[in-house]
Structure formats: C-alpha cells, structure tokens
Amino acid sequence: VSPREVAQAYLERVRRLDPGLGAFLSLNGRLLEEAEALDPSLPLAGLLVAVKDNIATQGLPTTAGSRLLEGFLPPYEATAVARLKALGALVLGKTNLDEFGMGSSTEHSVFFPTKNPFDPSRVPGGSSGGSAAAVAADLAPLALGSDTGGSVRQPAAFCGVYGLKPTYGRVSRYGLLAYASSLDQIGPLARSVRDLALLLDAVAGPDPRDATSLDQPPRFGEALEAPLRPLRLGVVREGLSGNSRGVERALEEALGVFQGLGFAVREVSWPALLQALAAYYILAPAEASANLARYDGTLYGYRAEGEELWRMVEATRARLGLEVKRRILVGTFVLSSGYYEAYYGRAQAFRRRLKAEARALFQEVDLLLLPTTPHPAFPLGSRPDPLAMYREDLYTVGASLAGLPALSFPAGFEEGLPLGLQLLAPWGEDEGLLRAALAFE
Ligand code: GLN
C-alpha cells in the first residue's frame, strides 16, 4: 500500500469514529497531497502522527484548546514536528487537550471533552487526552503529547497505552506553547515501547532553538537491541495508601514479572513525593502566570474590540477559560511581593529537596516503580472541585519536579478499564528506562 492509501484509510477511520470520541480538534487538510508528494526513500515515509494541539504546526491550526487561539495559524513549526517531517512522517491532525495543558481530564478544553475509548462515560485523562484516546482507538498509530505534571503519563494509563515523559531537555520545547517552562516536555504516546523509541529517535536531541535542550543524542532503537541486565528496582509504597484494588494487584503482578527477570526488588521511601503535589500547584501556576501574559491580543490569536489598549487587553483575556484564569490568579498571588517567600520561595526549596532525595534513592536502586494513577479513569463531570482534579496528579508530579524520565505502561484492567504503572529512571537515562519497560510489551 502507498502512503496515500494509508493516509486515506486513517482519515476515513477518524471521520467514522471520532465523532463519538472527540480526540481530534482538526485534521490536516493537506494530508493526501503531502502523502502523494513524499520521497519514499525517507526512513519514516508516510508514518502518521497525531500532534497535541499545543505544539505549533506551521499553517495548521494550533489552539491549545483555547478560544484565545481559535483560528491561529503558526508561521513556524515546532522542532519536534519539523524533525518528524524531515524524516517523511506526516501530521494526521491536532488532538484535543485541556486549555493550555491545564487539567487532568481534557474536560477543560473549551471546544468539547474527549471520551475514554474503553467507556465513553469516562474521561481519557489529561491534558493529552486527545492524543491518548486517538492512539488507543487506533485513530492514529502514534501521537505526540506534552507532560508538565503528568499529561502524557496519566492519559496513557487511563487509555491503556504507553507514554513517556522524557528527562527534562531531551526533546526541544521550541514550538511547544509554554505552560510551565521549567517542567514542560514533549513526549510520545504509542501502543508499544518500540514505537515510543521510534518516535523519540526522530524528535529528541539538542536544538539550538531551546537553550534548555540537552546535548545528548537519542539512541533509543539501539538501546532496545541490548540485552536486559537484571537491575535493582525500588517500589515506592510508603504513604501511598489510597490505591484501588486493581492498582494494588497490578503492582504485585509487575513486581512478579521483574523478579522473574532476576531483578532485585525492594521497598524504598521517597518522603518528599507526597508533598510534591502542593509544590507543583504553586510552581506551575507561577510559571503559567508569566507565560500566559503574552496572550493579550497584541501578538497571537484572538484580539477583542476596544478603543483603548487596556480595554482591548481586558476583553481579550476575558476569553480565557475558568481554570486558566484561576491558575493565573494563583500564580500572580504566589509571586507577589510579601507572599513570594512564603509560597514560591518555599516551593523552590522543596523542589531542591525532592531532587536530592531522588538522587540519593538512585544510589540504591536503578529504577523506581509506582502507580501512574491511584485508580482507573473516572466518570466525566465527577471532579467539579478543582482540588479534587489536582489530586489526580499525586503520583505524576514527582518525576516532573525532579526532571526525571518516567514511563507509563499498561498494566491490566479493573472492571474493564485500563490501568497504568510508572517506571522512573535516573536523570538522562531514558534509553535504559525504555529497555526495562520492554519487559512489559
Ligand atoms: N494536571 C496537571 C495540571 O493541570 C498536569 C498537566 C500537564 O502535565 N500539562 O497542571
């Protein structure tokens, strides 16, 4: 089959099934022409990738799930997307998300919520819920998401697919619409570890356009060829008491698999992990309040009417959704003079402690195992209280604050809904992390 036929087949599949799912915000209107014009000798010729709609795609709508960017056509391409295209991959379409990545269910998209492919009364997780649902329902073979505090891993878990948040800096953030710059990472979602590796080899690596990108070329394909050596695995359990029975069972089974492979398994304690959520919900809004100041009607996207400049700015920013406004207010508050030391300063100090604890832990073990989420996907509309929504991120924000690579892999089902567990590796050891996760493929 030709790339054009594959593209045609996926477009038909999306048109038939996506109306019930809401994974896509837009499709690439030039897909068939692009498939036709492809150089078939390129290594990824014709590979279709769904891209989260907070990643800039030149000439294709990029909304970040916000009314403020409705109709915005970026004049530039994110590095991750440019690299994929240079290898012959094609953007299938742009996927739904919580507005600017702020949420854990994709219900904060201003357009429509995405549904969980395993049960349409449940959320797919968020904020990369569209990417996870698309991959789970085979509306796309692969997808890019972004993970600030869990947004690749948690939807991957809820939708029964693999998702990786790389070490901070492994994938260029150029063209990723900034939410919390010190945490944001683009990450792959796929139905196998090998597919994660394929996507990472294409998109990762140093980029002069992102000063925080690491000078570490990707070697994922190579790493998967290496034999798996038995490693030391630490399981984090202390204080993690609110897990569903299915999650507890999945943990036991995963430990059994690792032991069967000759891994030395032991319980470890990471005391700061349970406080990470509080620090995250200070630091992420603080950075967001600065990053989102640019959406004032003068440069990007929507511009409201208004004779005087400040009235125009006010009316433009009124278009932001409730959760985004809440984060901007919280962020502005914790950064304000008089409160800065009490909130932002303390959260930063805590972040350093969390990192130090993680470094110490990784002297004793090579990998950490913990659940991605305490339970499977929750029903749509069941988390109206913002704090209840924030608590969904309990297990994912630790790796984010510490900058560590973390991979969520499917680990069975509970009452028909997928479960996910998370493996964490030391800083920069993403390749080894994928190699170990191959045990669960
Ligand atoms: N749910 C978290 C938040 O709302 C994480 C989101 C993300 O990783 N983009 O901030």
Tell me the pLDDT tens digit for each residue of 128-187: 999 999 999 999 999 999 999 999 999 999 999 999 999 999 999 999 999 999 999 999
Residue among 349, 374, 365 at smallest CA distance from 404: 365
How many Å apart are CA 261 and CA 255, to the nearest integer? 10
Contacts of 374 (CB under 8 A, 6+ apart): 240, 242, 243, 244, 247, 394, 395
Active site residues: 52, 127, 151
Residues in the chain: 441
| Residue 65 main-chain phi, psi, to 5 deg | 70, 25
What is the atom index within ligand 1 of the atom nearest the CA of 146? Answer: 9
How far apart are alpha carbons 117 and 69 in whole angstroms?
A: 27
Report which DSSP code applies to 115. Answer: -
CA of 32 to the centre of ligand 1 (A): 34
Instruction: Count CB neighbours of 265 within 10 A.
Output: 17
Provide the edge-to-edge strand list for the sheet that holds 48-52.
24-27, 90-95, 48-52, 142-147, 185-190, 162-165, 406-414, 417-424, 367-371, 232-236, 264-268
Task: Say yes or no to pLDDT of 399 above 90.
Answer: yes
Q: How far is the CA of 101 from the centre of ligand 1 (A)?
A: 6
pLDDT at position 335 is 97
Residue nearest to atom 5 of ligand 1 (CA): 149
Closest ligand 1 atom, CA of 323? 4
Query: Any bridge partners for residue 79, and if so which?
Result: none
Indicate whether residue 160 lines ligand 1 (CB < 6 A).
no
Judge contact between 204 and 218, C-beta under 8 A: yes
Q: Which two tokens stand for residue 58?
A: 């030149």
Angle between helix 193-203 and helix 79-86 axes, rounded to 10 deg: 100
Q: Distance between CA atoms of 335 and 325, rounded to whole angstroms?
A: 15
Q: Token pair for residue 240?
A: 């993690």
**In ligand 1, which atom is closest to the CA atom of 393?**
1
Q: Which of 66, 105, 128, 148 has most ligand 1 atoms within 8 Å of its beta carbon, as the pocket-test mutant? A: 148
127 C-beta closer than 6 A to ligand 1: yes
102 lines ligand 1 (CB under 6 A): yes
Alpha-carbon distances, residue 330 vs 276, 327, 335, 398 (angstroms): 17, 5, 9, 20
- 269: cis peptide before it, omega within 30°? no
For ligand 1, whether the C-beta of 103 sits within 6 Å is yes
Q: Which residue has the tokens 């690439």?
A: 28
The owner of tokens 């953030």 is 173
Which of the listed residues 128, 151, 176 should we mutate to test ligand 1's pocket, taking the one with most ligand atoms within 8 A of CB?
Answer: 151
- What is the whole-number distance in angstroms between the Cα of residue 98 and the centre of ligand 1? 8
User: Residues of the chain with pLDDT > 90: what percent?
Assistant: 96
Please count the other Cβ atoms lying within 10 Å of the Cβ belonging to residue 356: 12
Fill in the DSSP letter of residue 176.
B
Site to substitute for ligand 1 among 53, 97, 127, 280, most atoms within 8 A of C-beta: 127
- Tokens 């069967």 map to which residue? 260
How remote is the CA of residue 323 from the centroid of ligand 1, in Å?
11
Residue 384 to residues 380, 388, 407, Cα–Cα distance (Å): 10, 8, 28
Kindly report the average pLDDT of the chain as a whole number.
97
Helices marked H in 57-143: 79-86, 129-136
Q: How confident is the model at residue 306 (pLDDT cuts 50, 70, 90)?
A: confident
Whole-angstrom distance, CA of residue 244 vs CA of residue 117: 21
Ligand 1: distance of its center to the CA of 179 in Å? 9
CATH of the domain spanning 3-224: 3.90.1300.10
Compute, in angstroms, the gap from residue 296 CA to the centroid of ligand 1: 23
What atom of ligand 1 comes closest to residue 152's alpha carbon? 8
pLDDT tens by residue, 206-241? 999 999 999 999 999 999 999 999 899 999 987 788
Residue 380: predicted pLDDT: 98
**What DSSP designation does 375 have?**
S
Q: How far is CA 280 from the centre of its chain?
A: 15
Q: Which residue has the tokens 């790389």?
A: 166
pTM above 0.95, yes or no: yes
Pocket of ligand 1 contains residue 54 by CB under 6 Å: no
85: which residues sit within 8 A by CB, 6+ positions away? Answer: 77, 91
Is any atom of ligand 1 closer than 6 Å to the C-beta of 150?
yes
pLDDT digits (tens, 9 = 90+) for 356-389: 999 999 999 999 999 999 999 999 999 999 999 9
Taking residue 121's Cβ as centre, other Cβ atoms within 10 Å add up to 11
- What is the whole-number distance in angstroms between the Cα of residue 211 and the centre of ligand 1? 23
Contact 228, 261 (CB under 8 A): yes
